[in-house]
Amino acid sequence: MTVSKALQAAWPALLKRWAPWILMALVVALMVHFLDLHATLAAFNDIEPIAVVLTVALFLLDRFSMAYKWNFLLRARNCWLSNWAAFRIYLASGFVGYVIPASVGSDVFRAARLSMAGRSGSSVSATIVLERVLGLLAILALSTVGLVLVVLRGRTDLLPLLGAVSAALCIGTVLTGISMSTRLYQMLRRMTARFGDNKVVKTLHALHNEYVSLGKGGRTLAVFFSLSIVNQLIQVLMFVPVLISLDVPVELLTLLAVLPLSKAFVQLMPVPAGLGVAEGSQVIALSLAHVAPAQGLAVALVLRAIDLSMLLPAGIAYAADAWQLRRTA
């Protein structure tokens, strides 16, 4: 009986530990079963080196733009970093992201890293939370606009997707507005009073003041939202050189409408670095832009290879950041 209770107690922890890997294995197995891997391998022969070089350049630009917009929020909360330091920490967080599920690991690293350097933990955490929330809204806004334009050009098959994305954008906007409203927050606080000792509830209460302070800066949020849109555009353009190299007709407007959604989906999945899940969602998104699944998988694998190759500079950034932290301790 004691052993049975021990197993029941350990089951949630085991499920949490192994569920990401099981999900990744399942997605990979589905791709192997349904996709033509021989056609995918053949597609690699058509990829020009210059396409890979351009994709690497766009990849680095993407990482710098992500670090820049996060640093923009940090400076709004008087957490001053140079753009180089923010870029270094962002690269290092990508290294951590391959160990801890999806974007959670990199977020935790960034918050812990700046807290260890003496920055306010609540201020840093609030910037990361707002970065994720506004980043998601930027994805939904860009996709909604793109889908509207694509549907108006005759792609009525995308109407259900447009409806779902538009609804998600409306709900996300309303919830974000509520979370920044002090009056509505007080109502929420009363509703959660019975859970006041819960760690998650305590964390949310601790973040609220910082979150509201950031929310009051209308210009700051507008600039950050614009930077998030630019960042999404860069991420979409990362696919273009390889697609052109494969002689695939590039429907740029459709790519702008659907590819950001694949990133949003990956962020919700508890898989380290989105392995497998990212490739699967990108193949589906590219298929909506009339890219053959085999070619879509080839593009996704090229981007994954580039991402993996960036582990070297990310690891160097991680080591350099650790050395910098020890030196200033």
Does 207 or 139 have the greater pLDDT score? 139
Does 45 or 96 have the greater pLDDT score? 45
- Closest listed residue to residue 78, CA positions, set 266, 273, 235, 217: 217
pLDDT at 24 > cutoff 70: no
Band of residue 112 on the pLDDT scale cut at 50, 70, 90: confident
pLDDT at 91 > cutoff 50: yes
Band of residue 286 on the pLDDT scale cut at 50, 70, 90: very high
- Closest listed residue to residue 35, CA positions, set 269, 312, 280, 272: 280
Does 17 or 125 have the greater pLDDT score? 125
Measured CA angle at 81 (ends 141, 84), to 5 deg: 85
In angstroms, the CA 166 to CA 151 distance is 13
pLDDT at 1 > cutoff 50: no
Band of residue 12 on the pLDDT scale cut at 50, 70, 90: low
Does 164 or 316 have the greater pLDDT score? 164
- Closest listed residue to residue 261, CA positions, set 291, 243, 287: 287
- Closest listed residue to residue 290, CA positions, set 266, 261, 258: 258
Contact of 62 with 234, CB cutoff 8 Å: yes
pLDDT at 274 > cutoff 70: yes
The mean pLDDT value of the chain amounts to 79
Contact of 277 with 23, CB cutoff 8 Å: yes
Tokens read off for 243: 């697609």
Mean pLDDT of 284-297: 90
Tokens read off for 282: 């990108």
pLDDT of residue 240: 94
Neighbours of 103 (CB within 10 A): 21
pLDDT at 288 > cutoff 60: yes
Contact of 244 with 51, CB cutoff 8 Å: yes
Residue that has been written with the tokens 């650790």 in this structure: 322
What single-letter amino acid sits at 135? G
Q: Is the dihedral of CA 49, 90, 28, 293 positive or negative?
A: negative
Tokens read off for 134: 């506004």
Task: List pLDDT tens digits, range 231-258.
Answer: 999 999 999 999 999 998 899 999 999 9
Task: List pLDDT tens digits, range 70-90.
Answer: 888 888 877 777 888 888 888
* SS (HEC) of the chain: CHHHHHHHHHHHHHHHHHHHHHHHHHHHHHHHHHCCHHHHHHHHCCCCHHHHHHHHHHHHHHHHHHHHHHHHHHHHCCCCCCHHHHHHHHHHHHHHHCCCEHHHHHHHHHHHHHHHCCCCHHHHHHHHHHHHHHHHHHHHHHHHHHHHHHHHCCCHHHHHHHHHHHHHHHHHHHHHHHHCCHHHHHHHHHHCHHHCCCHHHHHHHHHHHHHHHHHCCHHHHHHHHHHHHHHHHHHHHCCHHHHHHCCCCCCHHHHHHHHHHHHHHHHCCCCECCCCHHHHHHHHHHHHCCCCHHHHHHHHHHHHHHHHHCHHHHHHHHHHHHHHHHHHC
Does 323 or 166 have the greater pLDDT score? 166
Task: List pLDDT tens digits, range 35-49.
Answer: 777 778 788 888 889
Band of residue 323 on the pLDDT scale cut at 50, 70, 90: confident
Give 266's strand partners: none
Mean pLDDT of 254-283: 83
